[in-house]
A and B are shown apart, each in its own frame.
Chain A
């Protein structure tokens, strides 16, 4: 079975940094594009970042461009989201998904709270 498990969320001050991880299992991680999507409390879904199956292409929403970086470690079957210069509006549950034109599998999410 495909499994995705996010971790690394928590409380951080404005301007701070966090690195989220998404541990993948049950499929050949290196073959699949991956996506990060977030959901602010009580709000809808927002696509944040994506990485192609080759890892050669990365994509970002304008709201995070220049502050967030997506990467992966194929040996660890893990996707990362490095988040720098965090703002209050980045507060959300962050989900990773397998696929990027319509993620078919999702993790349970990890909560990021940006607050002083």
Chain B
């Protein structure tokens, strides 16, 4: 299985400051169709996961533009330009290129 490694696992951030989460895969996530199925999910306490980003850098509908995704191949990043209180959550990267789909360990974003 493809191993997804996130860092850091805990990220204390000051309100209004940027945050960045790294995700590395053990294999290239470029599929035979040319697409890269790398997604980012947000899971607030007590809630279901919510997809924020798909295909590396495409924001889902309703996701604030302070969230952005980038990367290629095996290295990917989720950035929050200015952290707000509602961003307190665990963030997961997930690859859907190779079967089975696999998730990173999760990064807990909290306010300092």
Q: Which residue of B lies closest to A108 (CB)?
A: B48
Within the complex, what minimum Cβ distance (angstroms) separates B17 from chain A? Answer: 25
Check if A104 sits within 8 Å of B102, measured CB to CB.
no
- Which of A46, A47, A104 has its CB near the most chain B CB atoms (within 10 A)? A47
Interface size on B (CB < 8 Å)? 26
Q: Are B94 and A106 neighbours in the complex by a CB distance under 8 Å?
A: no
Number of chain A residues close to chain B: CB under 8 A: 22
Once the chains are docked, how many angstroms separate the CA of A45 from the CA of B100? 13
- Chain A 101-113 per-residue mask, 1 if CB under 8 angstroms from chain B, else 0: 1111111110000
Q: B48 to A45, Cβ gap below 8 A?
A: no
The docked-state distance in angstroms from the alpha carbon of A35 to that of B96 is: 11
Tell whether, in the assembled complex, residue A106 and residue B103 are in contact, meaning their CB atoms are under 8 Å apart: no
Assess the B39–A102 pair: CB atoms within 8 A: yes
Spot the interface stretch: B18-26, B49-57, B74-82.
B49-57
Interface positions, chain B 30-84, Cβ under 8 Å from A, are 37-39, 41, 43, 48-51, 54-55, 60
- B48/A109 in contact, CB under 8 A: yes
Complex: A106 Cα to B48 Cα, angstroms: 7
Cross-chain contact of A59 among B49, B51, B100, B106 (Cβ < 8 A): B100
Q: A45-B41, A45-B92, A47-B102 are known contacts. Are A101 and B49 too (CB-CB below 8 A)? A: no
Knowing that A46-B103, A106-B48, A108-B48 touch, tell me 9 more A-B residue pairs with CB under 8 angstroms: A44-B104, A44-B105, A60-B100, A61-B100, A100-B96, A101-B37, A101-B101, A102-B37, A107-B48
B: which residues have CB within 8 A of A?
Answer: 1, 37-39, 41, 43, 48-51, 54-55, 60, 90, 92, 94, 96-97, 99-106
Identify the A interface with B (CB < 8 A).
35, 37, 44-47, 50, 59-62, 95, 100-109
